[in-house]
Amino acid sequence: MAERQIDQAGPSSLVSIDQVIHAPARLTVLTYLYVVESADFVFLKNMTGLTWGNLSTHLSRLEEAGYVTIEKEFRGKKPHTMVRLTDKGRAAFREYKHNMQQVLDDLPD
């Protein structure tokens, strides 16, 4: 994955930083999804402060990476979208957290 290898010239631990997660908006979305079982689109929009368009785009990117599943249903005539972190997404988020910790720990004071 090209995005994952973006920082070849930097410190070696930076290479391992998952660029799909590293974007602030996607990191915020994943943070909320990490601490719950699932949430709908409206809830995520309120929590993250993103616009509908932005949230849609970032969720599509996360879905492409296999980090979230998006289940769309209709409640009456209204669309309702539930978003859930996949096992792969959960593992990737944990790894991201670990790697970021390492990167920051490696920095000199």
Partner 1 sequence: MSQRISLKEAERKTFTSAYQDGLWDILIGCIILEFAIAPFLSRSLGDLWSSVVFLPFWALVALAIWLTRRYVVTPRVGVVKFGSWRRTRLTRFTVIMLLVNLVAFVLGILAAANFATWPSWAPVACLSLTMLAGFSLAAYLLNFTRLYVYGILFALSPLVGQWLYVHLKAPHHGFPITFGITAGTAILVGLVKFVHLLRDYPLPVEESPSQGAYGG
What residues line the site for partner 1 (CB under 8 A)? 24-25, 27-28, 31-32, 34-50, 52-53, 55-57, 59-60, 70, 72, 78-82
CB 53 → partner 1: shortest distance, Å? 6
CB 19 → partner 1: shortest distance, Å? 17
Contacts of residues 10-15 at CB distance under 8 Å and 24 or more positions apart, as own/partner, are 11/103, 11/106, 13/99, 13/102, 13/103, 13/106, 14/103
Nearer to partner 1, 4 or 45 (CB): 45
Tokens of 24: 């602030």
CB 86 → partner 1: shortest distance, Å? 15
Nearer to partner 1, 36 or 91 (CB): 36
Residue 98's closest CA among 37, 39, 21?
A: 21
DSSP designation for 3: G
